[in-house]
């Protein structure tokens, strides 16, 4: 199974913020969209970072309430690890496990094609496991 299979189902919508937005503004986006991370795109729509709830937690630990006035560019993680639509889901699981993160932008030749989260990967794996079990059940029954 490939990253492109997941994107085929969930689509290529990407929720993004800019590096000069405040953390308060980025938090409002995360909350309104009910997501755990946003990509950070510059004025040319180039991927320059990723901001997850964990980065916000670190910023609050360092700066307390003042963290809300920091710019996204001061709290985001960069460089961003990305994957290709032709990568396997297993490869993506390895990247997430080794990197200890739960979000991977999908990029091909500089074009941002979507984001895969650990939730998408687990859902995909569950569906696949159920299908395999069903095939085995039918095989045993016949």
Task: Tell me if 77 sits within 8 A of 50, measured CB to CB.
Answer: yes
**Would you count residue 60 as binding ligand AMP (CB under 6 A)?**
no
Q: Does 103 bind ligand AMP (CB under 6 A)?
A: yes
Which residue reads 């699981």 in tokens? Answer: 93
- In the complex with ligand AMP, the residue whose CB is nearer, 49 or 124, is 49
50 binds ligand AMP (CB under 6 A): yes
Q: Are the CB atoms for 78 and 54 separated by under 8 Å?
A: no
CB-nearer residue toward ligand AMP: 37 or 124? 37
* Cα 108 → chain centroid: 16
The dihedral built from the CA positions of residue 36, 58, 111 and 46, taken in this order, carries a sign that is positive
Asked if 30 touches ligand AMP (CB under 6 A), the answer is: no
For 136, the token pair is 């085995």
Nearest distance, CB of residue 94 and ligand AMP, angstroms: 13
The site for ligand AMP (CB under 6 A) is made up of 36-37, 50, 52-55, 77, 80-81, 101-104
């Amino acid at each position: 199974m490939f990253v492109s299979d997941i994107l085929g189902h969930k689509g290529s919508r990407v929720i993004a913020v800019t590096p000069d937005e405040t953390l308060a503004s980025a938090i409002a986006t995360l909350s309104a969209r009910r997501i755990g991370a946003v990509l950070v795109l510059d004025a040319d729509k180039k991927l320059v970072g990723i901001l997850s709830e964990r980065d916000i937690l670190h910023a609050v630990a360092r700066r307390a309430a003042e963290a809300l006035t920091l710019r996204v560019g001061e709290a985001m993680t960069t460089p961003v690890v990305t994957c290709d639509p032709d990568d396997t889901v297993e490869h993506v699981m390895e990247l997430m496990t080794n990197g200890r993160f739960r979000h991977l932008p999908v990029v091909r030749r500089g074009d941002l094609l979507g984001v895969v989260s650990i939730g998408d990967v687990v859902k995909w794996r569950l569906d696949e496991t159920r299908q395999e079990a069903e095939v085995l059940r039918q095989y045993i029954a016949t």
